[in-house]
Structures are given as C-alpha cells and as structure tokens.
Structure 1
Amino acid sequence: MDIELRHLRAFSSVARHRSFSRAAEELLITQPALSRTIAQLENRLSVLLLDRSSRHVELTETGARFLDHAERVLAAMDDALAVVQHRGALRLGFSWLLPDPWAQRTFSRFEEDTGASVSLSRADDPIQALRQRTVDIALVRGDAEVPAGMRAVRLYDEPRVAVCSRDSDLARFTHLAWADVPHWALVINTVSGTTGPSSWPDGQRPAKVIETANYDEWLETVAAGRGIGIVPEVAERRAQHPALRFVPLVGAPPSPVRLVHLPDTQRTLVRRFLDAALRSASE
C-alpha cells in the first residue's frame, strides 16, 4: 500500500486533537488539505478510521487500534532521525539576555543527553526568526499571544524591576509601586519588550510612551533620561551600565518566560530540548 509518513502524521494529529481544525493548525496545512490526506489514508486501507458523524471527531474501533501502531511507526522514525541528527545542532533564538542559571543548566543537560549542540542566534524578533525558519526554537518573554500554528511552553515567571537614569528623580526612591508607573514617561521595546501600555487597564495607562525597536535602543534611551523602563530582574544582574539605576518594583505582575516552536521543525531535538528546559526550570 502506498502509505506515507504524512498520512500517519495527519491521522495521529487529528486523533490526538479530536479536531480537524486544530490538527490543521498544528501541521500548518489547510483543513481541506488535511481532510483529503485522511481520506486518502482511509481509501488506501479500505477502512474507516475516524467517525465524523458526531459534533466531535472520534476514533472508530479500527482507528483506535491503528493509532497505536501508527504512533509506534512515527516514534521509530523520530528515533532514526535522532541518530542522524546526533551531531547536529538546535538553533535557539533569543532577543536579549538569556535567563541564568536556567540557560547554562539546560544547554549542558541537552548536549549531554543528545550529543547535539545548541547554536545561539540573537534576533530582535525571535518569532519572526521562527517564521523564517532561521531558528528551531525561540525563547520569548512576556504574555503576547503566540501566532497560530506555533506551540508555546511556559517555563516560569520572572519578577519585574524598574530602571531609570542615575540622574532621574526615581533613582532616589527605595521602591516604586506598579500602580504609580503610569505617572512616569515609559520607555518600551515594541518588538521584544515585556511591558507596554496594554499592561495596564484602559484609563490607567502611561500618559507618555517612548517607543524603541530593540533592547539596545531601549537601554540607551533609558540611560539618556528619556523615561523609565520596566524589565525582568535578570537585567539588574547582567546589564552593567554606569548610567542606569534599578529600583525595586512593588505589586507588579510577573513576566512569563516561554519557549515557542513550530511543530514540524527538528521534532526529536526540540522535544529533547523542551524536556531539558522544563527540568532546569523546576530546579
């Protein structure tokens, strides 16, 4: 029978999601194309694998038995690819300052477990780098919505801290309340920043916002006294800039750290990296 891996991957995805629309989104194909692929598989096997009569897609009895075998075949193929990729590299995209010690623990664990290496790629917009497939997985901060077709895994939350010029009035404060941040001119990174006007409800947002396009522009704009910034506290440990002062922030919501990837890229290595990342995040 002319059964291809794409047939098995399509069937496995629909079976897991119990939905053609969600499976199509995961596989980055249109729903009609996915439906045709499943129909081809059923025609070539001369069996009905999925019951489409109810509101939700369900496996037939034959489909449930076939799924077990199909997933074993897919797992075996992933293992075979892992052998080929054993000396390969996983490309990790990031916009600024990788979290520590999470990054060092994760890289060491992943490389020891797989024999592959982690290749680092700094990009102002890691999500765009994923779209262009110049990276395999991206570290993303903040709670911006992940584009359709991509998967996100939340690692942990980072506390936030305020930052200002050493000549700013804020530099003399012992702390700053989150509710008082909108009273100051706020410098934001529109591409990869974690804090922006939408971080506050309507009517409570900063009156003045200065936009920058990347971390370096944001850093120097704050240092020049154009406004204050809000950033995960890793910057306080790592940003060695003589013109900056960091001020504790009280009552601020945490900033999530996530790994984002496409489901069809370096499947085995991405899965192994996610395993290592989650273990490191829990330590």
Structure 2
Amino acid sequence: MGEGTPQGIEIRHLRAFESVARLASFTHAGQELAITQPALSRTVRQLEELLRVTLLDRSSRHVELTDAGGAFLEHALRVLAELDRGVAAARRRGTVKLGFSWLLPTPWAQDTVARFERATGSSVDLVRIDDPLAAVQQEKVDVALVRGRVRAARLQLVHLFDETRVAVCADRSPLAVESEVDWADIPNWPLVVNIVNGTTGPWSWPDGEGPATIVETANFDEWIESVAAGRGIGVVPEVAVRRTIHPSVKFVPITNAPTIPVALAFLPSANGPVLRRFVEAALEK
C-alpha cells in the first residue's frame, strides 16, 4: 500500500471497513461478509489500531465515517478495485474459450474438457458461433474447433483426427429408404450447403464434378430446415447420427467418401501456457 504503510494491514481489513462504511451498519456488513458482528468489530478495530486513527464514529444511532475514515475510504476503494481487476484478469487467463460452429465431436469434447480441467484447475467456456475462424482472429475466443480443409492467414492449426461423412435427407426423400449411397452419386442430388461453416460443398469435388444444383444457407438452422423441407440433401460428419438434430430427417451412410479433417485453430501470439495445456489435452489419446 505504499511507503510508510503500517505493517499488518490485510485485504480482510479493507473489505470489512468498506462494507461497514457502505452499509453504515456492523450488523448488515456482518451478514454481507458472512462473519459475526463481534468478529467484524474486532477486524475494523485492528485496522484503526494499525492506522492509529479512528475511522468510524460509533456514537450515533448509525455508524458514520470520521473525516479520517472518509479520506481513507477513497484509497481503500481504489485498492480493492485494482485487486478485483487483477483477480478477473487472472481468471480470464485461466479460462479457455473454445469456439465451435456445430456439434462438438463425441466423446472427444467431453474427454478433453474433463482432462484439461482436472489437470489444470482452469475451465473451458464453450462458445457456439457461426464463424469460429473469424472469432479467433478477432480474439473473441481463444481457440476454435474447425472442420474441413482450412486455410486461414495468421492462424496456427493443429490436426486432431478425421471424421467420416454421412448423408442427411428429408424423411420423405427417395434417398431415405436406401441403405447407403456412394460418394460418386451425391452430385446427382441437389445439395444443401452451409456456406459459412459447412464441411461439404461444391469445393468437395473437382471442378465440373460437383452437384449441378446448390441450395445455399448461411447457418445451421437454415441448413437443417432446408434439408427437412426436401430442398435437397446434406452431407455432415458422422457425429450427427448420434444426436437428435431434427425429427423429420434421416441419415444414410456414404461409401467411398473422403474424410473430414478436424483441427484446432488459434493465434500463435495467444499460445500461452494455459492454451498449450488445452491443446495437449485435446491431442491426448
């Protein structure tokens, strides 16, 4: 607290004094701080003895600040505010914000989060966002799970694994009764594509070999409702089969389909110790 500050002043002294001063009551302050009134009185008295001044006038019906108390309160508030900001900053550094646009892989996500939090004592915030790559570049999230062949300037990519593809169609579609469909036959159907973060689109085939009809959507809700309405079929990671994403769609296995690479993307400049531990947990088998 600066040169000449009496030895022995602790944060608990400042918290106690600030609460009593703000509430003008030892009783209410004790309730707020969850300590007994005698213990609170002793703590404030200790502070006064350390400062060698009287901070509170206890003679009136309500507790009031003395002139010295009023002057000291201003400084105490600044110290407590700085401490709170420091704690918040430390906690933010101890939290990893994981951005994702769609279903997280199972059980990878659950295992990774549990392993990381158990090993570090830090936490993971899951942030659903339409464009996770942009969110990383704008530092809205620390790291993003991305699917597909991603090219992003300034970002570091760490490959995790590959997912298989399945087709999804309306339950009234002729495809719904098929036991499987070959990758080479997918272009025979109108293809519903999420142009923001979809994993399958015209780019998934060599030029001239992709679907003739493309139905473009801008997010998952538009995409799944378009598929359910029979506007075309979609192609998604196999993890969707284990989730209930819409009551009016069916999944059909695809043979001979290329896999979907799954990676973590983050800014190299943000590669601090907490984020490194998260990547290590993500890669652990």
Q: What TM-score does the superposition give when structure 2 sets the normalisation length? A: 0.67
Contact 1:168 1:225 in 2 (8 A): yes
Q: How does 1:15-94 map to 2 (within 5 A)?
A: 84=90, 88-94=94-100
Structure 2 SS opposite 1:231: strand
Displacement after TM superposition at 1:268 (Å): 0.9
1:137 aligned onto 2:143: yes
1:234 aligned onto 2:242: no
Of 89, 92, 110, the residue aligned with 2:116 is: 110
Q: Which residue of 2 aligns with 1:33?
A: none
Give distance in 2, aligned partners of 1:148 and 1:203. Answer: 28
Displacement after TM superposition at 1:87 (Å): 7.7
Letter in 2 for 1:139: L
Q: Which residue of 2 aligns with 1:276?
A: 281
Displacement after TM superposition at 1:239 (Å): 3.0
1:174 aligned onto 2:179: yes
Give distance in 1, aligned partners of 2:100 and 2:92. Answer: 23
Letter in 2 for 1:131: Q
Contact 1:163 1:247 in 2 (8 A): yes
Letter in 2 for 1:183: N
Q: How does 1:159-198 map to 2 (within 5 A)?
A: 159-198=164-203
Structure 1 SS opposite 2:134: helix
Q: What TM-score does the superposition give when structure 1 sets the normalisation length? A: 0.67
- Judged with a 3 Å threshold, the aligned counterparts in structure 2 of structure 1 residues 87 and 199 are, in CA distance, closer, same or farther, namely closer
Letter in 1 for 2:158: V
Contact 1:154 1:256 in 2 (8 A): yes
1:246 aligned onto 2:251: yes
- Gaps of at least 5 residues in structure 2 are 1-89
Contact 2:158 2:265 in 1 (8 A): yes
Give distance in 1, aligned partners of 2:192 and 2:217. Answer: 7
Structure 2 SS opposite 1:264: helix
Percent sequence identity is: 57
Contact 1:87 1:115 in 2 (8 A): no
Displacement after TM superposition at 1:104 (Å): 0.6
Give runs of ≥4 in structure 1 deviating > 3 Å.
Answer: 84-87
Q: How does 1:184-223 map to 2 (within 5 A)?
A: 184-223=189-228
| Per-residue CA distance 1:13-43 (angstroms, 9 max, x = gap) | xxxxxxxxxxxxxxxxxxxxxxxxxxxxxxx
- Judged with a 3 Å threshold, the aligned counterparts in structure 2 of structure 1 residues 87 and 154 are, in CA distance, closer, same or farther, namely closer
1:98 aligned onto 2:98: no
| Per-residue CA distance 1:124-143 (angstroms, 9 max, x = gap) | 00011111111000000111
Displacement after TM superposition at 1:102 (Å): 0.4
Structure 2 SS opposite 1:119: strand
Give distance in 1, aligned partners of 2:234 and 2:93. Answer: 42
Displacement after TM superposition at 1:217 (Å): 1.1
Structure 1 SS opposite 2:215: strand
Displacement after TM superposition at 1:240 (Å): 3.7
Displacement after TM superposition at 1:174 (Å): 1.0
The RMSD of aligned alpha carbons is: 1.6
- Judged with a 3 Å threshold, the aligned counterparts in structure 2 of structure 1 residues 218 and 86 are, in CA distance, closer, same or farther, namely closer
Q: Which residue of 1 aligns with 2:131?
A: 125
Displacement after TM superposition at 1:86 (Å): 9.1
Displacement after TM superposition at 1:113 (Å): 1.1
Contact 2:97 2:141 in 1 (8 A): yes
| Per-residue CA distance 1:61-91 (angstroms, 9 max, x = gap) | xxxxxxxxxxxxxxxxxxxxxxx55982110
| Alignment coverage as a number of residue pairs | 197
Give distance in 2, aligned partners of 1:86 and 1:275. Answer: 19
Displacement after TM superposition at 1:111 (Å): 0.6
Contact 1:162 1:249 in 2 (8 A): yes
Contact 2:94 2:274 in 1 (8 A): no
